[in-house]
Amino acid sequence: MSFFKNIFKKSKKKEIDYNNLPQHIAIIMDGNGRWARKRSLPRSVGHKEGAKTLKRITTFCGEIGIKYLTVYAFSTENWKRPKSEVDALMALLLEYLKNAETHIGGKDVRIKTIGDVSVFSDEIKKEIDRVTKLTGKNTGLELNIALNYGSRDEIVHAVKEIAREVAHGKIKTDDINEKMMIDKLYTSGVPDPDLLIRPGGEKRLSNFLLWQSAYTEFWYTDVLWPDFREEHIVEAILDYQNRNRRFGGI
Ligand code: FPP
């Protein structure tokens, strides 16, 4: 890192208005495969580098005062990938969880998952449980890791729960409202993301937080996730702070 680049990074960070931080940042961690291909390495190496980036970015977001960070780690569609890649991702996830104390950015991070984790191996489920409990009382950044997560699946899951309550006579159909839906989503208790960042050059949501991102500000970059750094978060936040959020008003 050159001296001047370092100075530039520091001065940019100073430009952040800490009274107007996005409370919740969501990230689609894309580009691991391309990062590896460019170096003639297996895709799994790209994912491994991606896990390192996740740790850095988690630490940084906690340090600057972001309250919630939600990351897309494994989607309901990712099972379609070759078995070898799925296995590598599962192994990486297990390692990441096992080392959560030292691996996941900062002592004060509270780790949770969103998505249907019932399909994972017993070993992974046990680790998810352990890490969630271990960090449950931490009061710093909340890191929500989306695992076997798909927004359409999440919405169907929420609708089924509400339908059950109607069937059991707990609520009436006409009483169904947005708040009930929000309470049944995997993200219940987490405010909607203010800023959604997608590295890797694509400009789509890919079944991530469809309900929650109704008024989210999007920020894209061609930088691949393993190359994504603190300076890119700063750039995204500065851009976010220049936007005029109207939430449908004027
Ligand atoms: C998308 O890049 C990335 C994924 C499907 C996996 C994301 C996983 C990590 C960053 C690993 C760290 C996470 C944990 C919790 C261990 P891609 O493979 O689609 O990249 P490409 O578009 O370049 O092929």
Question: Cα–Cα distance between 4 and 227 in angstroms, integer?
Answer: 19
Residue to mutate, 47, 72, 85, 132, ligand 1, most ligand atoms under 8 Å from C-beta: 47
The domain spans of the chain are 22-150+192-241
User: Is the CATH number of domain 22-150+192-241 3.40.640.10?
Assistant: no
Q: For 98-116, how does the pLDDT look when each residue is reduced to its tens digit (9 = 90+)? A: 988 776 666 799 999 999 9
Beta strands in the chain, from DSSP E residues, in sequence order: 24-28, 68-75, 110-114, 142-149, 195-198, 217-220
Cα distance between residue 236 and residue 193, in whole Å: 14
Query: How far is residue 58's CA from residue 66's CA, in Å, rounded to a whole number?
Result: 9
Q: Which atom of ligand 1 is nearest to the CA of 224?
A: 23
pLDDT band at 216 (very low <50, low <70, confident <90, very high): very high
Distance 216 CA to ligand 1 centre (A): 22
Are 93 and 85 a contacting pair, CB within 8 Å? Answer: no
Closest CA to ligand 1's atom 16: 93
30 is catalytic: yes
* Residues 47-66 pLDDT 10s: 999 999 999 999 999 999 99
- Provide the residue count of the chain: 250
Q: How far is CA 143 from the centre of its chain?
A: 7
pLDDT digits (tens, 9 = 90+) for 7-34: 666 678 889 999 999 999 999 999 999 9
Give the closest residue (by CA) to ligand 1 atom 6.
Answer: 73
User: Ligand 1 atom 1: the closest Cα is on which residue?
Assistant: 30
Atom nearest to 50 CA in ligand 1: 10
**pLDDT higher than 70, residue 87:** yes
Strands laid side by side in the 142-149 sheet: 110-114, 142-149, 68-75, 24-28, 195-198, 217-220
- Look up residue 129 and give its amino acid: D
Predicted confidence at residue 80, as pLDDT, reads 96
User: Which residue, by CA, sits nearest to atom 2 of ligand 1?
Assistant: 30
Report angle CA 123, 141, 52 to the nearest 5 degrees: 55
CA of 175 to the centre of ligand 1 (A): 40
- CA-to-CA distance for 66 and 50, rounded, in angstroms? 20
Ligand 1 mean position, distance from CA 222 (Å): 15
How far is Cα of residue 99 from the mean position of the Cα atoms in its chain? 19
Q: Give me ligand 1 centre to Cα 72, in Å.
A: 8
Please say if 32 is a catalytic residue: no
Cα–Cα distance measured from residue 240 to residue 130, given in angstroms and rounded to the nearest whole number: 35
Q: Which two tokens stand for residue 193?
A: 């993301």
Residue at 229: amino acid letter: R
Bridge partners (DSSP) listed for residue 114: 146
**pLDDT at residue 45 is higher than 80:** yes
Q: Say whether pLDDT at 249 is over 90.
A: no
